[in-house]
């Protein structure tokens, strides 16, 4: 499984190019490293944390930021098996985060406290998928 941890420039520009004035929902699929990989010199670099433990630090430090921005975790589930898709994709965290707008998401990722906290995510994650969606009407059918 090839590692995807942060967006590349083209992906981030595509995100920013979309309408920002409506709620967005971000589908998060996250696979952890066995052992967190902090940068040399970080206080936790030699702590021997698992990826899951490092991600816990990320969650704890970002919780007040997302609350301040009016964002929340809309849904969380536990991965069980892949029915359709590449056989090597398994996920440790699966959740949907809702932001009141793309402006709020962009404010989060540029917040100095978030930029300090994201090192935990980068240390924790082996690979991930972050998929921006616009909320749509739900119903009883797939169409």
133 close to 25: Cβ distance less than 8 angstroms: yes
Segment (H or E) for 112: helix 112-124
pTM equals 0.92
pLDDT of 124 strictly over 80: yes
Residue 3 is predicted with a pLDDT of: 85
Residue 130 is predicted with a pLDDT of: 97
Handedness of CA 55, 67, 79, 130 (dihedral sign): negative
Please give the torsion angle defined by the CA atoms of residues 111, 6, 99 and 29, in that order, rounded to the nearest 10 degrees: -140
Mean pLDDT of 132-140: 91
| 124 three-state secondary structure | helix
Residue 2 is predicted with a pLDDT of: 65
Residue 114 is predicted with a pLDDT of: 97
User: How far is the C-alpha of 124 from the C-alpha of 118, rounded, in Å?
Assistant: 10
Q: Could you tell me the pLDDT band of residue 142, with boundaries at 50, 70 and 90? A: confident
Going along the chain from its start, the domains and CATH numbers come out as: 21-133 (3.30.70.100)
pLDDT of 1 strictly over 70: no
User: In terms of DSSP bridges, do strands 93-99 and 24-32 run parallel, antiparallel, or are they unpaired?
Assistant: antiparallel
Per-residue pLDDT of 8-62, as tens digits, reads 999 999 999 999 999 999 999 999 999 999 999 999 999 999 999 999 999 999 9
38 close to 142: Cβ distance less than 8 angstroms: no
Per cent of the chain over pLDDT 70 is: 99
């Amino acid at each position: 499984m090839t590692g995807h941890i942060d967006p590349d420039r083209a992906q981030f520009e595509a995100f920013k190019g979309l309408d920002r004035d409506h709620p967005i929902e971000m589908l998060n699929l996250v696979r952890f490293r066995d052992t967190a990989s902090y940068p040399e010199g970080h206080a936790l670099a030699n702590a021997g944390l698992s990826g899951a433990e490092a991600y816990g630090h990320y969650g704890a430090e970002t919780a007040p930021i997302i609350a301040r921005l009016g964002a929340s975790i809309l849904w969380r589930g536990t991965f069980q098996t892949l029915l359709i898709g590449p056989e090597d994709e398994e996920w440790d965290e699966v959740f949907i985060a809702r932001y009141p707008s793309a402006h709020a998401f962009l404010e989060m990722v540029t917040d100095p406290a978030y930029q300090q906290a994201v090192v935990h995510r980068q240390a924790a994650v082996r690979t991930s998928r972050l998929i921006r969606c616009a909320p749509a009407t739900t119903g009883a059918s797939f169409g």
